Copies of this chain bind each other. A is one copy, B any other.
């Protein structure tokens, strides 16, 4: 992680450009954000921006790739685990929350993609892939008897990750540890909101 001491006139690097673009895409929406807006946010002109990136779609493509890659890394890591499917499902939820917190801006953008271009359609396809993976895990956990079987597995998976994904709407990294949030999400999803007959094994916990 040393400074590679690049040649030529110093300026913005691709990561900074991408970060600025994604921030704008998320606040105003992808279509509502012009390349002029992105350039302005970086303090450069539009033509200079095109010196760094090939076009608007490349920015979107890079952003959703970072989100998707993070999610699939987490999924692969979980699939390497052994043990009951219920625990693996729990781990998948937990690590999804962590990836979401860590790559918040990228995942936010990913979750808003509509499928208008090939880039967007590819992103949607990968999301569906992740969905299938989660649904399979739910099915296994049900077969094991670890989680309730009176709910359609696809429905359960969608609701579960719908809850996880909704984080992008309000989570802000500056306040609160992602780990505590992940634990809360898992607790809520698996044990429910309702008060359980006092078992005393779970201490009172506060976050945010």
Contact = CB atoms under 8 A, between A and B. Distances in A.
Interface string A2-29: 0000000000000000000000000111
Interface string A179-199: 001001101111111111000
Contacts of A148: 191, 193-196
A47 interface: no
5 contacts: A146-B194, A147-B194, A151-B188, A162-B165, A190-B193
Interface of A: 27-32, 86, 112, 114, 116, 145-152, 154-156, 158-163, 165-167, 169-170, 181, 184-185, 187-196, 202-208
A196 B202 CA distance: 17
A194 B190 CA distance: 5
Quick one: copies of this chain in the complex?
2
A159 B192 CA distance: 11
Contacts of A28: 114, 116
A17 to B, nearest CB: 22
A46 to B, nearest CB: 19
B184 A151 contact: yes
Contacts of A31: 29-32
A156 B188 contact: yes
A207 to B, nearest CB: 6
A204 B142 CA distance: 13
Contact of A206 (B114, B145, B152, B203): B152
Contacts of A195: 145-149
Nearest to A86: B194
Contacts of A32: 31, 114, 116
A149 B163 CA distance: 19
